[in-house]
Amino acid sequence: MVVRYEVDAYFPPKNSNGNASTKTSSATIDDLITGLSGVSLSSSSTDTLKVIRGGKEVPQDSIIEMSTISTKRIHLYDWEECYGQLFLSQTPNHALAEHERGRFLSIYHKRIDTQGGKLAQLAQNMSQEINHLRMALKMIQEALVENAKGNGGKNLKLSLVFRNGDLKLHERESQERCLPSILFERF
């Protein structure tokens, strides 16, 4: 299975004094032009995935999910939905920024692994639903593997469709893959 998520922000690492480090870039416009001088564009497609490393790795416990909400609607914020997203992405920090007509007034920070509080209560309340999700994903994975075995290892294109309360596995008419062949072979 392929799972992805995006990160909104992270806490910068602390320096030896315990303060957030604040390195600034010394890059100039000339550095940017030099870096882009070797770039070319083409319209050809390929089945290979090219990974271009950028940025830097940050500790998982420094990752932050950010949300914004109007002062008029802050009492309606759905912490249950937020917790589910934080749990599945294993993002430990959440920042909720309250604004009035685009002017930010307050930022509320929560950690999902903090004992007590609203998120800890949600974790306890949602544990059964999360366990059901785990079991459903396991059943889906087993069904896909069984389907491939039953078809002589032929890689059928399948889709999960949820309709009228039923989740069903269907063979797709389109034979296009969602992943490049080189990545698909890993699974």
E strands, 23-180, are 63-70, 93-100, 103-111, 158-163, 166-171
Which tens digits make up the pLDDT trace of 137-165? 888 888 877 777 776 656 667 778 888 98
Angle (CA) 70 98 9, round 5°:
120
Q: How does the average pLDDT of the chain come out, rounded?
A: 77
What SS3 class is residue 65? strand
Residue 100 has pLDDT above 90, yes or no: yes
CB 125 within 8 A of CB 87: no
Average pLDDT score over residue span 16-35: 62
What does the alpha-carbon distance between residue 101 and residue 32 come to, in Å, rounded to a whole number? 36
Q: Is residue 39 scored above 80 in pLDDT?
A: no
pLDDT score recorded for residue 42: 62
For the chain, domain boundaries: 57-153
Evaluate the CA torsion angle 135, 141, 147, 149 in order and state its sign.
negative
Q: Between 179 and 26, where is the model more confident?
A: 179
Instruction: Give the HSE-up count for residue 174: Cα atoms under 13 Å, Cβ half-sphere.
Output: 4
Instruction: Kindly tell me if the per-residue pLDDT of 176 is higher than 90.
Output: no
Question: Is residue 15 very low, low, confident or very high in pLDDT (cuts 50, 70, 90)?
Answer: low
This prediction has a pTM of 0.56
